[in-house]
Amino acid sequence: MFGAFDRHNFGDLLFPHLMTVLLPERAFAFAGLVERDLRAFGGHRVRALGAERPLQLIHVGGELLACTAWQAAVMLLDPAGAAAAIARYDADPVAAAAWAARQLGASRIAPYVAGREALAPGGTLIFNAVGGVDWFHLSLAHREAVKTALRQADWASVRDRLTQAALRAEGLDFPLCPDPAVMVAACFGERIAARQHHGEVQTLRTDFPQGYLALQFSADFGDDTTLDALVRELSRVVAATGLGLVCYRAGAAPWHDDAGLYEILLQRLPPGTTRLFQSLNLWDICALIAASRGAVGSSLHGRIVALAYGLPRVSLIPPQQGDRTLKTTAFAETWEPGSVPRGVTVDEVERAVMQALAAPADVLRDNATSLRARYLQSQAQWTGLLAC
């Protein structure tokens, strides 16, 4: 299995667990760009792709098509190293690309996209529910590298209509498949339920007997104007609903979530209404969302785990997004009912949360059930290609 599970990001850590359960008769190694051990966070021991040429390679999901070498290399650093690299190279794309190639030990323009050259002769190449909503913002060389690999695939599916349409315009027509995380409740319901009854999650359930919203947002929301708007809107949500707010980090890798922003929020929201969730463990985060009354945040997989549990959800649009469509919005527009809010700006949070909380429970449950069936139907079309 190949993916970005060589760094701390909620969805990427979850993918290999899901695929292992969904493909129970097969044993896999887990490959990323570098060797890492993320078992302390609920992840896996990951090897670097290229150490050997596998007979079969599954791209397990995620926004792999659009991830550049520069982005990948920075996100694999520690915070201090990432800050130094950004300060030195961010304004010089040519130097940044050369630095990224040195860091990754390879010159692949799209590092999380592997073609047939990575496989043993006669091997099987799968792309499972991958995304690339930023396709038209990628360099021509990046798009060509991705298209070459996709043309070599024995099977490929994409997780949203925006990616599907972009590739179709390039002459590549792939079917839609929901993100594998729609299967999390079905695959790990008992494990996640048990996690709700001890540790931080159990304490939060006691502290907020009326319930809480799982809240997350990335460092992109850190300017004063955006934080002011979040404080205003979330204060109104708390007053209107009586629900608490629990801030969690969906990713600790660079360019993900900043715990310092949550500290600022905690100081400015009404006393007693907000808590900081300390754990970065994958299963604790799943339990936190599953036990909540709904999820608000910028993380796609925070949204999808809420979806899998039939919970209300609202996705936040960063202030600098402009007219570029987010992967959260693309996913919601592809797979979710119209009664559920898509992406909203921070000025729209109160309205969107109240809309989400008013969505009929049976509509949310039926959506989750439907997407589980759609995922399994898609997976069934390529599992026969794999050697046992």
For the entire predicted model, the pTM comes to 0.95
Determine which helix (DSSP H) or strand (DSSP E) holds 21, and give its type and residue range: helix 10-22
Determine which helix (DSSP H) or strand (DSSP E) holds 368, and give its type and residue range: helix 361-380
Query: How many Cβ atoms are within 10 Å of 232's Cβ, its own excluded?
Result: 14
The residue with tokens 């896999």 is 28
pLDDT tens digits in sequence order for the chain, 388 residues long: 999 999 889 999 999 999 999 999 888 999 999 999 999 999 999 999 987 899 999 999 999 999 998 888 888 888 888 889 989 988 888 888 888 888 888 778 899 999 999 999 999 999 999 999 999 999 999 999 999 999 999 999 999 999 999 999 999 999 999 999 999 999 999 999 999 998 999 999 999 999 999 999 988 898 999 999 999 999 999 999 999 999 999 988 877 888 899 999 999 999 999 999 999 999 999 999 999 999 999 999 999 999 999 999 999 999 987 778 899 999 999 999 999 999 999 999 999 999 999 999 999 999 999 999 999 999 999 999 986 5
Q: What's the gap between Cα 352 and its chain centre?
A: 21
Phi, psi at 276, each rounded to 5°: -100, 125
Closest CA to 16 of 128, 155, 171, 151: 128
Euclidean distance between CA atoms 131 and 66, whole angstroms? 7
Instruction: Yes or no: say if 293 and 211 are a contact pair by the CB < 8 Å rule.
Output: yes
Euclidean distance between CA atoms 160 and 165, whole angstroms? 9
For 94-98, which contacts have Cβ atoms below 8 Å and span 24 or more sequence positions? Answer: 96/70, 97/69, 97/70
The residue with tokens 């909203």 is 344
Strands (E), the chain: 31-32, 36-37, 45-48, 56-59, 124-130, 155-158, 212-216, 244-247, 274-276, 294-297, 313-316, 343-344
